[in-house]
Structure 1
Amino acid sequence: MKFCLSVAALSFGSVAAFAPSAFTYNTMKAPASSSSLNMALPEGVTPIIIGVAADSGCGKSTFMRRLTNIFGGDVVGPLGGGFGAPGGWETNTLVSDLTTVICLDDYHLNDRNGRKVTGLTALNPLENNFDLMYEQVKALKEGKTVSKPIYNHVNGTLDTPETIEPTPIIIFEGLHPMHDDRVRDLLDFTLYLDISPDVKLNWKIQRDMEERGHSLESIMASIEARKPDFDAYIDPQKKLSDMIIEVLPTNLDKEDKKTLRVRCIQKEGVPDFAPCYLFDSGSTIEWTPSPEKLSSPAPGIKLKSGPEEYFGSKCQVVEMDGNFDNLQELVYIESALSNTKTKFYGELTQAMLALADAPGSNNGTGLMQTLAAFAIRDLYEKKSAQAAKAKKESTTAAAAA
C-alpha cells in the first residue's frame, strides 16, 4: 500500500539523485495511532493553510519530507499508523507535532471504477468534490475537527472517512489546491512544483519503468492521455502561486539529460513574505562559484538571481544549474544568499545535511525546496506573532472596559 505522498516522512532508498522516489508502508516506522502525537491545537492558535500543487510523480514526497523536517516534531508518520500496524488503516494523511499534510486525492468524487464509467481522468475538476474540500479547509482553519474521506490508491476505492484534528500548520497537496476560488482564498501561501516535460519523462521512466516494471510504451501513453487535462486544469495554477519551483534540463550541456537547472520564482508583494536573493536585492547576478570552495562534477555549476516578470507579476528569481559533490560545501552558497529566513548562519546547510540521502540533495531541487520550507516556517511564526499580539490587545481592551 502507498501514500499519495509516498510516505514522505520515511528514510529514502537508493535512487538516482535527480529523480523522485517511491516508498511503501513496509519501510515505515510510525506510531501505532495518532494518540501518540501531540496534535491538539494550542488555544488561540489559528492554523496557517499551505497549498502545494503539482502533477503526479513531480517530487511532492521529497518536498513534504523537507517541510516536516524543518518544522520539527518528535514523531512524523501516517495518521493511521501505517498499513499492518495495530489499529492502523490505509491513509494518505501525514502528521507530525506541528503539521498535517492532506492529499487532495481524498476528495475524488468517484472511485477508480466510477471514473471508468464517466470516462474522465482524476485531473478533471468534475471528478473532484470541491464543495466538500472548501467546507473542510474552512473548518480546519477555524480550528474544527473534520471527517475526511480516504481515497485508497491500492485498490482505487473510497474508504471509510478518518478524523482530522487541526494542527498549527496544515498543508493541502495534490492536483487542485488552487483551482477553486473559495479554497484558494483560504490559503495563506501557495506553491507550484513545475516540472518541464523532458524532466517529467525522465522521472517517470525512473519510477515507473525501472522501479515498477512498466514499459516505455505504457509510460508514454499515460503521459499523452493525461496531457490535455493537465494543460487545462493543473498547469494554470502556477500563475496563481506565490512561489514556483521550476525544474528544467541543464543549460550547461545540451546533451546532458540528468543534470537539472532549477529556478525558484518568488512573487513580490505577498503578505508576510519577502523573496530570497543572491548578494544584493534587486541586482541581476550570474555567479560561477570557485571550484576551490564548491567542487562540482562536469558540466559545472552556475547560479543566477534577479528580478523578472512572471505572468504579469513582479518576481525575484534564484536559479541553480548543475550539481555539487560535497554537501557540506553548500555553506559557501549559503553565505551568498540573503533573506533565507534561517535563524542562524549554516542552518540551511544543516537542513540539507539532515536529508543528505534524499533525491535532489546535490542539486537545485533540494536547495529550492529547503528555501521554500524556511519561508513557510517564517510565515507561520509571523502570523502566530500577529495573532498573539491581537489577542493580547483584545484582552487588555476588555480589562480596561
Structure 2
Amino acid sequence: MLIEEGYIQLENYFLDGTKIEANANRYTFVWKKNVDRYKTNLQTKIQDLLDEIDEVEKEEMNLYQGNDLEELGENRQVSTKQLDETISYLEQRLEKEPENKSLKKAVKKIRSDYLPRLERYEDQQSVFQGRNSFSKTDHDATFMRTKDDHYQNGQLKPCYNLQVGTENQFIVGYSVHQRPGDTKCMSPHLDQLNSNLGKLPKSIIADAGYGSEENYAYLETNARKAYVKFNTFHREQSKKWKNDISKVENWSYDEQKDEFICANNRRLTFQYETTEETETGYEITKRNYKCSDCDGCPLREQCTKSATGRTVSISPKLLAYKQQARDLLWGEEGRKLSIQRSVEIESVFGHLKENRAFRRFLLRGLPKVSVEVGLLSLAHNLIKKAAVCVRQSLDKSMDKTFPLSA
C-alpha cells in the first residue's frame, strides 16, 4: 500500500538492528561451553564404569556393533540410545548373576544418574543450533549484551536481535534473529525482504556492524549499491591511524611482483594461500605474505612483535570491497545518505522503544515474537501515514489561507 500510494519508492533502504528483551527469566540460562564440558566429564565417567565392569567380569561387552571398547580409542562417545542398550545388556547379565553386587550397583548408577543426565545434555545441545546460550523459559531467546541500564555497562539478558529496514521513516522490512551480532543477519534479512516484496531496494545503507566480505559479495551479486561501512572506516581518518606504520593500509603494493612494501621499503613476498569457509558456506580466500628481511630493521618494534618477522594475511576481495565502500561513502551521495541514516532508523527505534514503550516482548518463541514485531510495525506505519496525511492537509489549508500571490 505504501509503495502504491507513493510513500516509499524502494530507492534507499536504511538497515540497522536493536536488541529487544525476551519474555523470559533473566537468570535461568544455559551456556553451550558448560554443557559441552559437563557432557565430556559424564562420558568419561560412563566409560570408566564400563571399563571397570569389563575388567571385573573378565569378558568383553559387544555393545558397539561388534567393536570392543578398547578398539574405539580414547575419544569414545556414548549416545543415550547406546547407553540404554548397555543397561538392557547389563540387566540381562544381572538376571543370570543376581548376587553380583558390582554389576547391580553399576546398573543402578547408570539408570538413575548417568542416563537422565546424558539425555538432558543431548536435549540442550539440540536447542543451541549454533548459538552459545539459551534461556530455560524461552529456548529461542539468546543471552545478549544490552545497554539499557543507567550505567550503560552492558547487561546480559535473554534477547532477540530485531533487524529493521526503513525508508522515509516507514518500516519496509523487519526480521527477528537469535544472533547477537548484526553481521550475519544482513543476508537472511534481505532474502526475507526479497521474498516479501519480490525485489530489493536499489541501495542499502548500513553501519560498520554489517561490513564483512560476505555481505559485500551478497550485495554485489544482487547488483545493489553498498553504502555499508566497515569496522575501521572512521578510524582510518584519524591522524593516529595514518601514522601507524604497522597498518597494511598505509603500505604500498607492487602489482607486478605481488609484493607489499612496508614503511622501511622492505618487501613482503607471497608465501601461500588459505581458504576459510563461513557458516553459510561462503569461502574467503586469503593470501599470506612474509618479510624475510626484518633483521636489523630500525622500525621492527613498531611494526611487529613476532620473532620470525612480519607476516600479513590479506583477502584481496575484501580490500577491493573496502575501496568501493570508501569511494561510495565519501562521494556526495554517500555523505548525504550517511547523515540521513542516523535520522531515518534511529528515530524509528526511538518511537518503538520510547514512545510505544516496547522494550520487552509479551510472547515467547521465535514465531510468536515475529508476529508481535509485525503488528508493531503495522501500527508504526499507520500512525506515520496518518501524521503525513495531517501534515499534507495542513499545508494545503495554509496555502489556501496564505496564497503565494498574496
Q: Same fold (TM over 0.5)?
A: no
| TM-score w.r.t. length of structure 1 | 0.22
- Structure with a larger share of its residues in helix: 2
Larger radius of gyration: 2
| TM-score w.r.t. length of structure 2 | 0.21
